Amino acid sequence: MERVIIHVDMDYFYAAIEEREDPSLKDKAVVVCMYSNRGEEGGAVSTSNYIARKAGIRSAMPCRQARSLKPDAIFLPVRKQFYEDISARVMDILSSHADSDESFEKISIDEAFLEISQNCAGNFEKAIDIGLLIKNDVLEHEKLTCSVGIGPNKLIAKMASSFKKPDGMTLVKPEDVTDFLSPMPVKKLWGIGKVTEEKLQQMSIETIGQLAAYDAQELIAVFGKNRGTWLKKAASGIDETPVTEKTATDQIGRMASLKEDTRDNGEIFSLMNELVDDVIKKAVSRKVSFRSVTITVIFSNFRMATKSRTLNHAVSDKGILHETAREIMLQFLRESSMDFRRIGVRVGNLQQNIGQKSLFEYF
């Protein structure tokens, strides 16, 4: 079976959220800044929309410089927690389309890899349908756009997602990898920085195709064995790194599929209890408490819904998590007549425990 990987990259995430929250910002240059303690004159640009980018504004640029380039732009402060909450919901949508929990890898607040080899049976044409479904789900639930890249490995999927931004989708089949990569400037190869780019230019290597054709031993002589070997393989479109689940620092969660689409309380709560137990064990191992509990349901028509509850104070008690999760799940069952396909349990607003043990740790 062919390996099929999707990379999803949210389009100008922070600025897009601000546009969604305030429609009057549409068609204006929007710049989201991480201000320093010096106020609006200090700090750096976190992100900007495409109108601002056309004026030359870029991430990490000093806010003062950005103002000089586009004085009529709308400058807004970063709202980190707000963006993280939206990111968590987006990631729930994305992970619901992966082969399994372990086949989903969040790599930043606004991008992730999914392996869908089993879901599409290694068929790249079916992968297009999954990519479109992801885009539609994100747009429907969060009113945000994303760009999707589909390829035979993480490297190609990542580069494909940048090919038609914003709101694009690019498919690169295994047989098309060479034609896709070869004409690109070498700096476009994911993982190449400024220093490596300059060294390659000194070697008269300007395109990825030229790098792929370069003698491997000469690359190793210049860059060392590991880096030289990687450059040769990456330029040839070879990437064997797996999509692996990573522990998020801002939340702990698990999702799993029911044995079959169902509304049977016994089946649903049995699986939910397993997820709760796993989440609480992870919380205990990380020595954290949580203040928010979120339940996610993927229905039989693949539509997703989430409900959250914020607790009065941070806890790490299994009984409280079980009770809260059960109450939310019962609400889902009352409000919907559709069968459940997949469910998830997530805790957030994590706080580090200091000294005191939870009751669960004694058993």
User: Model confidence over 292-341: pLDDT tens digits?
Assistant: 999 999 888 877 888 999 888 888 888 899 999 999 999 999 998 999 99
Q: Is 250 a known ligand-binding residue?
A: no
- Residue 294 makes CB contacts below 8 A (sequence gap 6+) with 88, 92, 253, 306, 307, 308, 309, 344, 345, 346, 347, 348
pLDDT value of residue 157: 98
Binned at pLDDT 50, 70 and 90, residue 247 comes out as low
Mean pLDDT across the stretch 107-114? 94
CATH number at residue 194: 1.10.150.20
pLDDT value of residue 321: 93
pLDDT value of residue 359: 38
Cα–Cα nearest to 8, from 101, 117, 100, 87 = 87
Binned at pLDDT 50, 70 and 90, residue 70 comes out as very high
Radius of gyration over every alpha carbon of the chain, rounded to an integer in angstroms: 23
113: left (phi over 0), alpha (psi -120 to 50) or beta: beta
Binned at pLDDT 50, 70 and 90, residue 362 comes out as very low
pLDDT value of residue 285: 86
On whether both 86 and 97 belong to a single domain, the answer is yes
On whether both 129 and 10 belong to a single domain, the answer is yes
Percent of the chain with pLDDT over 90: 69
Q: Which of 111, 206, 218, 267 is catalytic?
A: 111
Binned at pLDDT 50, 70 and 90, residue 363 comes out as very low
Rounded to two decimals, the pTM is 0.72
Q: Say which residue the tokens 């079959």 belong to.
A: 260
Residue 356 pLDDT greater than 50, yes or no: no
pLDDT value of residue 354: 60
Mean pLDDT across the stretch 331-356? 85
- Residue 148, beta-bridge partner list: 8, 169
pLDDT value of residue 299: 87
Active site residue 140: no
Asked if 48 and 14 touch (Cβ cutoff 8 Å), the reply is no
Residue 334, domain member (yes or no): yes
Q: What is the 3-state secondary structure (H, E, C) of 67-135?
A: HHHCCCCEEEECCHHHHHHHHHHHHHHHHCCCCCHHHEEEEECCEEEEECCCCCCCCHHHHHHHHHHHH
Count structural domains, the chain.
4
- Please give the residue range of the domain that contains residue 287: 251-362
Mean pLDDT across the stretch 22-35? 93
Q: Is 110 a known ligand-binding residue?
A: yes
pLDDT value of residue 41: 64
- Determine the Cα–Cα distance for residues 98 and 194; give it in Å rounded to an integer: 34
User: Model confidence over 145-194: pLDDT tens digits?
Assistant: 999 999 999 999 999 999 999 999 999 999 999 999 999 999 999 989 88
Residue 74, domain member (yes or no): yes
- Determine the Cα–Cα distance for residues 285 and 280; give it in Å rounded to an integer: 9
pLDDT value of residue 60: 86
On whether both 187 and 219 belong to a single domain, the answer is yes
CATH number at residue 120: 3.30.70.270
On whether both 10 and 157 belong to a single domain, the answer is yes
